[in-house]
């Protein structure tokens, strides 16, 4: 895959985008690319510029496909997916442990890597997050013979979202029995047991949650949070005070005495829980009250970072829908006495857009003006999705002949060695020759090459004389 990227990187149109990033152009637009060709292009641009990058899609399904393809194209494998569901109800429901684990792992890895890529749907950009420094504070590192403050460690685990139980039998739980501290991180398949001799770590090992049988020993481990809403006790108390002020303002606007009473009773109960530093089920609906300033993923990206917006028009459409959905939620909860006037689940899209100070690259299938954008470099890259041959080898033979006459380099991808050999055998049965090569030779190539690769779909770049076929086609 590297050879395709290296070859394209030196083409004038592609290089103009790279040069635009390096020279500081604020906005650029690339049209024409779709599918795996788009994934390859975004990987190429990021690797050429070495910038920490945030890629935004309009939905999670597009983010997942882009992530899987980019992993295949990426040399450094520093690509991470931040999976956020577009449904408002999912924000307030119990989070999927798998998605939550993936988000936390992705966020920490992205923050800790200078030129990493984070792929996220636009719903993720609207989320309210803790200050970025919290992610450094709330990681617990343990190693053998380390002296620890057990009381502070237990306090940190609670602030990191862990729930204290008699036994740590499920992800997100911890327990302390005598000199044994058990922690079940959501990012691990098995819980961890840390045995203490007074305040010194004597052993660290994984164990089976059901049988309690010890598994492999560890010399050191790092425990990450089990929630994205990292809260100090002082944050909870401060939120209680802000919520009380907002309640007083909201009550004055409610005319019906019965509605006032329902509102006061409901919100006061939550204020009491916040004042007692309780972390409860629907605490995220008070996300706007916890920190001195509200933060989004954009605040986690340096000012010299890079943002790629995949189908900007559809991103704006989805963001507008999410804004309207939240307004309906707020209106409904205000009527039912379950929210105050200052309640917010996320940022408004206009806030996000106005806060976007980094360099931006817009990707669009069609060459057209995108509202609220002003790209100073526009490049149209001709691309065709590879047709499905459905086993009709005469169609493939005709295309092979056309590509040969047009001096187009043909690259056939297979997931492993045995599939490469199978494809070569099938082609030979129909008098089509192709060379097997585990690594792609320098482009252009005179004859079709079968190499290892596993992307979602093939494509043809007519102007750059490249055709990529996957096993699927």
Q: What is the pTM of this model?
A: 0.92
Residue 363 has pLDDT above 90, yes or no: yes
pLDDT for the residue 60: 94
Model pLDDT for residues 89-133, shown as the tens digit of each residue: 666 666 678 888 999 999 999 999 989 999 999 999 999 999 999
440 Cβ contact partners less than 8 Å away, ≥ 6 residues apart: 1, 2, 3, 4, 411, 449, 451
Give the residues across from 435 on adjacent strands. Answer: 449
Q: Maximum Cα–Cα distance for the chain, whole Å?
A: 86
> Which helix or strand (DSSP H or E) is residue 204 part of?
strand 200-207
pLDDT confidence tier of residue 68, bands split at 50, 70 and 90: very high
Angstrom distance (rounded) from CA 412 to CA 64: 23
Give the residues across from 182 on adjacent strands. Answer: 175, 193
Angstrom distance (rounded) from CA 321 to CA 333: 18
Residue 420 has pLDDT above 70, yes or no: yes
pLDDT for the residue 173: 94
Residue 440 has pLDDT above 70, yes or no: yes
Angstrom distance (rounded) from CA 324 to CA 243: 23
Token digits of residue 136:
């450094």
Average pLDDT, the chain: 92
Q: What percent of the chain has pLDDT over 70?
A: 98
Mean pLDDT for the stretch of residues 156-173 = 93
Mean pLDDT for the stretch of residues 182-192 = 93
Token digits of residue 91:
């924000």
In which residue are the tokens 């309780």 written?
A: 278
Cα–Cα distances in Å, from 90 out to 94, 100, 108, 284, 417?
7, 12, 22, 11, 42
Angstrom distance (rounded) from CA 350 to CA 331: 20
The answer to whether 419 touches 454, Cβ cutoff 8 Å, is no
pLDDT for the residue 95: 67
Strands 117-121 and 53-57: parallel
Report DSSP state, residue 388. P
pLDDT for the residue 114: 87
Residue 7 has pLDDT above 70, yes or no: yes
What are the strands, taking DSSP E only, across 23-170? Answer: 27-31, 53-57, 79-81, 117-121, 140-143, 163-164
Lowest mean pLDDT among 22-26, 210-214, 417-421: 210-214
pLDDT for the residue 92: 65
Mean pLDDT for the stretch of residues 425-446 = 90
Mean pLDDT for the stretch of residues 429-447 = 90
pLDDT for the residue 30: 96
Model pLDDT for residues 26-39, shown as the tens digit of each residue: 999 999 999 999 99
pLDDT confidence tier of residue 2, bands split at 50, 70 and 90: confident
The answer to whether 462 touches 33, Cβ cutoff 8 Å, is no
Model pLDDT for residues 295-348, shown as the tens digit of each residue: 999 999 999 999 999 999 999 999 999 999 999 999 999 999 999 999 998 999
Model pLDDT for residues 374-396, shown as the tens digit of each residue: 999 999 999 999 999 888 999 99
Model pLDDT for residues 218-270, shown as the tens digit of each residue: 999 999 999 999 999 999 999 999 999 999 999 999 888 998 999 999 999 99
Lowest mean pLDDT among 275-279, 366-370, 422-426: 366-370
């Amino acid at each position: 895959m590297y050879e395709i990227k290296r070859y394209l990187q030196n083409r004038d149109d592609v290089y103009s985008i790279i040069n635009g990033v390096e020279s500081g152009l604020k906005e650029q637009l690339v049209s024409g690319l779709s599918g795996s060709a788009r994934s390859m292009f975004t990987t190429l641009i990021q690797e050429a510029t070495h910038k920490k990058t945030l890629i935004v899609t309009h939905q999670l399904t597009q983010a997942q496909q882009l992530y899987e393809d980019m992993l295949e194209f990426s040399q450094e494998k520093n690509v991470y997916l931040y999976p956020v569901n577009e449904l408002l109800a999912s924000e307030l429901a119990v989070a999927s442990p798998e998605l939550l684990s993936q988000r936390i792992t992705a966020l920490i890895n992205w923050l800790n890597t200078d030129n990493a890529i984070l792929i996220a749907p636009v719903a993720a950009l609207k989320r309210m997050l803790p200050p970025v420094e919290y992610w450094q504070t709330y990681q617990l590192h343990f190693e053998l013979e380390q002296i620890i403050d057990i009381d502070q460690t237990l306090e940190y685990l609670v602030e990191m979202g862990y729930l204290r139980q008699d036994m740590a039998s499920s992800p997100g739980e911890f327990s302390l029995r005598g000199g044994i501290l058990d922690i079940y991180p959501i990012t691990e398949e098995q819980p961890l047991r840390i045995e203490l001799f007074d305040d010194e770590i004597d052993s660290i090992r994984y164990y089976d949650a059901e049988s309690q049988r010890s598994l492999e020993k560890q010399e050191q481990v790092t425990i990450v949070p089990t929630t994205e809403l990292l809260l100090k006790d002082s944050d909870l108390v401060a939120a209680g005070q802000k919520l009380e002020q907002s309640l007083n303002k909201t009550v004055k606007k409610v005319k019906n005495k019965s509605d006032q009473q329902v509102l006061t009773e409901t919100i006061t109960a939550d204020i009491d829980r916040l004042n007692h530093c309780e972390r409860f089920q629907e605490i995220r609906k008070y996300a706007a009250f916890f920190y001195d300033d509200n933060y989004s993923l954009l605040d986690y990206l340096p000012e010299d970072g890079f943002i790629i917006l995949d189908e900007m028009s559809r991103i704006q459409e989805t963001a507008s829908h999410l804004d309207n959905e939240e307004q309906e939620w707020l209106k409904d909860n205000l009527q039912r006495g379950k929210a105050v006037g200052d309640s917010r689940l996320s940022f408004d899209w206009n806030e996000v857009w106005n806060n976007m100070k980094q360099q931006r690259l817009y990707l669009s299938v069609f060459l057209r003006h995108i509202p609220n954008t002003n790209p100073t470099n526009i490049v149209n890259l001709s691309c065709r999705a590879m047709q499905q041959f459905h086993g009709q080898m005469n169609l493939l033979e005709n295309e092979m002949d056309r590509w040969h006459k047009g001096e187009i380099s043909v690259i056939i991808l297979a997931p492993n060695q045995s599939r490469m050999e199978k494809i070569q055998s099938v082609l030979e049965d129909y008098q089509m020759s192709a060379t097997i090569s585990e690594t792609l030779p320098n482009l252009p190539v005179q004859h079709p090459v079968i190499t290892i690769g596993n992307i979602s779909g093939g494509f043809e770049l007519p102007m750059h004389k490249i055709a990529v076929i996957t096993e699927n086609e």
